[in-house]
Amino acid sequence: MSCRQLPSHARRVLLLIVLLPGLCPAQDISWERLSDGVTVSVWKPGDACPTVPTMLVVDMDPERTKFAVHHYAQEGLLEPPRMDEWQKRTGHHVLFNAGLFRENFAYLGLLYKDGRPLGSRRHASWQGLFVAEPSASGLQKARILDLAAESFDEEQPRYREAAQALMLLDLTGKIRVRESGKHAYQTIVAETEIGHILLLKSLGAVRLYDIARCFKDALPAVRQAMAMDGGSSSEVRILESLWEKDLQVQEHASWKSLFGGSSGSHIPLPTVIGVSPR
């Protein structure tokens, strides 16, 4: 797959190539810098991945952004808020669902906030662990741990924030989900070669296997990835006020509204992860 020649005015398209080396967009893509360390856009895989729909993408630099886990019970709430309510409570620039949960809103897997477990237990078969905010110097500020290859000390965690979910693609390039599987809206967290965290939300139903294959074939900048959640609870929201400085640009108004939460069923979410400037 060959990249189109960049138009002379497309500085944001150039930013795409810098942030995601190896990604050749099927169409011209305009990236928006919303705040320090947060850049957003839309990725259309195109012919390289015919079964993968358009995806909203948030690129976050952990050196400039911090991550925080929020759980409704830990914050003294009687029931889980919807995503828009979470944003009003927390004020985070970016919010996304932290992972899978049961019908009684119990989180499935390890979940840590401020270095303390929030009552959930390690899932026996899920091997993906998103971790952030290290308690010691010299560690990446946010990354994906592959529990099949790395350890996580539950008594003395090296990271203050953690959320466990399904490993999707590992450092060896192995796809970690079965080729079978249902089609659903998906939320993916990925780690890039330069240490950025990518948050991707599909705008159509898709199998996790097809996303993993697409990353492997068409997005070599992704080192490893994990699936946070799917279906009606697959939500990503960006603080609406961050768009205000760009109101004159109308060409991407439709996908900006998607980042703002104008699509989806907006069910209550017991656990979310928020992103704010450092």
**84 vs 17, residue with greater confidence:** 84
Residue linked to tokens 């893509």? 29
CA 8 – CA 270 distance, rounded (Å): 46
Taking the CB of residue 10, how many other CB atoms lie within 10 A of it?
A: 16
**40, two tokens:** 């957003």
Q: Closest Cα partner for 110 from 145, 140, 137?
A: 145
pLDDT in tens, 207-263: 999 999 999 999 889 999 999 977 766 788 988 888 765 555 555 566 677 777 655
pLDDT given for residue 256 in this prediction: 74
Q: Closest Cα partner for 83 from 257, 245, 267, 252?
A: 267
Distance of CA 139 to the CA centre of its chain: 20
CA 191 – CA 212 distance, rounded (Å): 13
Q: Please determine, for residue 143, whether its predicted confidence score (pLDDT) is greater than 80.
A: yes
Q: Closest Cα partner for 20 from 270, 219, 189?
A: 219
pLDDT in tens, 263-272: 555 788 999 9
Q: Please determine, for residue 127, whether its predicted confidence score (pLDDT) is greater than 90.
A: yes
pLDDT tier for residue 199 given thresholds of 50, 70 and 90: very high
pLDDT tier for residue 99 given thresholds of 50, 70 and 90: confident
pLDDT given for residue 11 in this prediction: 37
| Ranges assigned E (strand) in 90-194 | 94-97, 111-113, 116-117, 128-134, 142-146, 159-169, 186-192
Does pTM top 0.75 for this prediction?
Answer: yes
Q: Please determine, for residue 141, whether its predicted confidence score (pLDDT) is greater than 60.
A: yes
pLDDT tier for residue 105 given thresholds of 50, 70 and 90: confident
Domain range summary for the chain, segments of one domain joined by +: 11-277
3-state secondary structure 52-95: CCCEEEEEECCCCEEEEEEECCCCCCCCCCCHHHHHHHHCCCEE
Taking the C-alpha atoms of 100, 196, 167 and 269 in order, what is their torsion angle to the nearest 10 degrees? 0
pLDDT given for residue 257 in this prediction: 72
Mean pLDDT throughout 15-32?
48
pLDDT tier for residue 26 given thresholds of 50, 70 and 90: very low
